[in-house]
Structures are given as C-alpha cells and as structure tokens.
Amino acid sequence: MDGKTSVFSWNGRTDHETDWTSFRYHQVIGARGEQKNACVLIGFSSDEGVRRNKGRIGAAEAPDALRAALSNMAWRLPEGNYLLEAGNIVCVDGMMEEAQRELGEVVKGSLASGLTPVILGGGHETFYGHYLGTRAFIGKGKKLGIINIDAHFDLRPYDEEPSSGTMFRKILDNDPDTDYLVLGIQRYGNTENLFRKADELGCEYICEDELDENVAAEKITAFMERHDAVILTLCMDVVDAAAAPGVSAPSPFGLTPKLVRAIIRKVVADQKTMSFDISEVNPSLDPDGRTVKLGAAFVNEAIMGLYVR
C-alpha cells in the first residue's frame, strides 16, 4: 500500500517576500540544503480507529485543516530555521494497520535523517504508528517513555479488533521497556475496569481534577529522568469542550488550553523528547473552526519548543 500524498498547497498572507522577520509558516515550508535538527510535518489521514471504537468520525480531514490554520501564523525563529513537509499518509479502505506501519517507516526515516517528527492526526490510532517508528529508531533495550495528554487511558482489549482505544495496552503488553504517563484522565470517562487495568500495567496518571501546572511539571520531570527517550502525544478530547468542541468525545470538565500549553512546553523543552503528535481534531464537528485553530496553536507551541531547546 502506498498511501503517501502531498496535496496540500501552503499559502497565506504575505507581509514581505524577503524580510525573514515578517515571515509566516507558509513562507518557510520546504527543504533548504542539508538542514538538520528541523521539524518535519507528517500527516496521518485516518479515522478508521475511531470508527472501530464506535466514535464520531471526521478526524481524517484534520491534517490539512491544521496546516491551513498554521499557514498564516507568524514564524518566530531566527533566519535559516525552516519547516519541512512530508505530506500525508492516507488510510485506504479501512487498512489501518498497514497505514500505521507506513507511518512508522516515515517516522523512523525522519529520525534517522536528524529530523524531529511532528505528526498531524487523524484519530488517536495515529499514535501506534508514531510509536512503531520511534521504537525502531532507538532500538530495543532503551527505556522509552510515553507521555499522553488525554482524557482516556485507551487501554481496551485489542485481540479482536485494534482501534483508537487499544494501542497503549498493546504497546505495554509487548514492550517491557516502555512506560506510560497519562495527564488529564476523566474519572467518568473511564470505567473502573480501565482504572484497574492501568494500575495492573503500572501506568502513571493524574486525573483532570487533580492536575495543575506545578503538579504536571513535577510528574513530568520525574518521569523523564527515568527514560532514555520520550514521545509526546496530545488527544484533543482532553481539552474543555467549550474550547474544543470539534472532537469525537468532548470533555465538559476538560483541561484549559493554558494548562495543555504549559504541559507541551515542559515536555518539548527536554532534549529526550523525540517527537510529537496531535490527534482527534474533527473539522466536521467544528463549525466555527475553534478546535482546529486551537490544535494548530498547540502544534505551533510544540514546534517552537523543539527548535529552541
């Protein structure tokens, strides 16, 4: 299967064509020479995992919607810092597992080239491909930490049909060198059985009503110190529904955008952080575009932090 495409046309407002201090995202897209240590955008156009999880589909349209929202944002990095583009991987005919493997190959190749993957999902099944690529790059035996900003554990059984709600359990069952920290868990969005499974698997988590910036920072610091590499994933259903209604499962008591931004900044500032993904933005459920715009703002925070650390 070759589901890789690159159909998005970056464009937007141009304040000046040659003055770097006036540049916006759409003006810094593309490879320039042998640039290393750059971020590369990888789209994962899939919501097959959400469909299997009986959620509201539409997140497959998010990668290009996020790019469109990023296009006009100011690019606030010194001259010579460009943003690279890898196009989209598209899940065709429900072939989610094949698409995840393809994403893993692109992530691994990007890391091997000295680039930092920033992955635009897609349903949260995006993360499994993200994980496959990162683990393949760092190799077996290295301690890998997963930090998930999410309202849900996503630890459901995967034996019959993997979905957007199963991948973390599959990873933890099969990779003894990986640990899992979830920030923003909703008490009434997860059954007692899922809490028990999280404890059984040795997961670390903080519920949304116990989480603030100081608590998050202390937990993140301790978690990162114990690992050789860390990957960060953001599920947009963790955000308060007033700020992010355009998701499959809105959270009326979700985290504030300010707190999510603080968590992203904290994690990406550490040199151990290999990559970042955002999932569960659903443009079809976002009539005024606020969720897409907020998601793009979070992507911008991740990119800025990954460049300047």
pTM for the whole thing? 0.96
- Over residues 114-120, the mean pLDDT reads 96
Domain span including residue 214: 4-308
CATH code, 38: 3.40.800.10
Residues 6-64: tens digit of each pLDDT: 568 899 999 999 999 999 999 999 855 566 679 999 999 999 999 999 999 999 999 99
Residues 61-111: tens digit of each pLDDT: 999 999 999 999 999 999 989 999 999 999 999 999 999 999 999 999 999
pLDDT at 298: 98
Distances (CA, A) of 111 to 57, 62, 137: 30, 23, 7
Q: What is the mean pLDDT of the chain?
A: 94
Q: How far apart are CA 14 and CA 216, in angstroms?
A: 38
Q: Is the pLDDT of residue 279 over 50?
A: yes
pLDDT at 1: 36
209 marked as binding residue: no
15 marked as binding residue: no
The number of domains in the chain is 1
Higher-confidence residue: 162 or 33? 162
270 marked as binding residue: no
154 marked as binding residue: yes
- Between CA 302 and CA 38, with CA 228 as vertex, the angle to 5 degrees is 35
Residue 5 confidence class, pLDDT cut points 50, 70, 90 = low
Q: Note every long-range contact of 21-29, with CB atoms under 8 Å and residues 24 or more positions apart, other chains counting.
A: 23/74, 23/75, 24/71, 24/72, 24/73, 24/74, 24/75, 25/70, 25/71, 25/72, 25/73, 25/75, 25/83, 26/71, 26/72, 27/75, 28/75, 28/81, 28/82, 28/83, 29/82, 29/83, 29/84, 29/85
pLDDT at 160: 82
